[in-house]
Amino acid sequence: MEVAYWPSIRADVWKYCKFCHICQKYKPNLSKLSGHLQSTPVVEPGYMLGVDLMGPFPKSGKQNEHLLVVVDYCSKWVELFPLRTAKAPQIARILVEEIFTRWGTPAYLVSDRGAQFTSHLINLICKQWGVVQKLTTAYHPQTNLTERVNRTLKTMMASYVEEHHRQWDMWLAEFRFAINMAWHESTGYTPAEVALGRKLKGPLERAINRPPDPSSPTYEVIDRQQSLIQVVRENVERAQAKQKCYYDKKRKHTRFQVGDIVWVQAHPLSKADEGFMSKLSAKWKGPAKVEKCLGPVNYAVSFLGEPGNVDTYHVQNLKVCHRYFKTSFDGEGYVTVFSLINQRLCWKPTQKSDI
């Protein structure tokens, strides 16, 4: 029995579903992720360093539970420092005694937003040594080069310790040596060649090594190192262009404006003792407002009702918030979408031009 006629029902129901806050909060984003690859330019060894903390691990025989990883963005040189506690004073001491005074001060220090790296002490040390801190956005660790090194280290550790997990720090020196003497695809050289101007020699290389040529003038070492860095820059730029090509194929370009209303991706953790399960919670939180554009892919965002609480998010963790729904049916006897669903009203077929 026909009791109602709704010319634009298909469009209006589609709009209602699109603007539904419950659907926007709980449904996963199945489209391409937002944000094209933003490559970090390579200048010279020691120009930009990445730092990160791994752990906590099981307490080792040396009472260590954490691992500080430092990586040079240009040469890919790696330094590893086991720690008993992951606190700012220990990290500050290592940065000054083992990095700044040994390798020289970098222009930039990249880290996540952990309490250790955002502490007043680390900020003070960086200011005293003229180092600019760069903090990665929340839930987007790919920005920090150390994340790639961490994956390699975890595999190496697991392969050696097997079921003896308390021995995780026993072979760190050997792991560091292996990484720094391994050929790197992006640079085309080993980290040691770029950072030190020579290859690291193991027992085999030392056994079959030929003596150096005494006729080679010493100034050629400096010239060779400068030429090597230029070649590394070119190799890295080609590798970055190749990586960007593959990366961007699976991404879409998304741009927000100041004042846009967005959803922020949630990353809840299950708490069984509190009866909370992350799989049943909302996938997105908000709405939130874009306060400032910080670059091609980063935005300063504040949640509505909390104007002073501003945080930085990668565009990958944001999506448009559709806030309003207005039916295009303006005739007499207004019919809501709820009445259509609840009462299962029939509608008269219309021409395609009406839909």
Q: Where are the domains of the chain?
A: 48-209+219-246, 255-340
Buried b (16+ CB within 10 A) or exposed e, 211-221: eeeeeeeeeee
Question: What's the pTM value of the predicted model, to 2 decimals?
Answer: 0.68
**CATH 1.20.140.10 is held by the domain 48-209+219-246:** no
Q: What is the pLDDT of residues 117-176, one digit of tens each?
A: 999 999 999 999 999 998 887 766 666 778 788 888 888 888 888 888 999 999 999 999
The residue whose two tokens read 């730092």 is: 51
Cβ contact 336:6 at 8 Å: no
- Domain covering 255-340 assigned CATH 2.30.30.140 in the classification: yes
List pLDDT tens digits, range 301-332.
988 877 777 888 888 889 888 875 444 444 44
Contacts of 338 (CB under 8 A, 6+ apart): none
Percent with pLDDT over 70 in the chain: 79
- Give percent of the chain above pLDDT 90: 26
Per-residue pLDDT at 14:
83
Show the beta-strand stretches assigned E in the chain: 33-34, 48-54, 66-72, 78-83, 108-111, 132-135, 251-252, 261-265, 284-293, 298-303, 310-314, 318-320
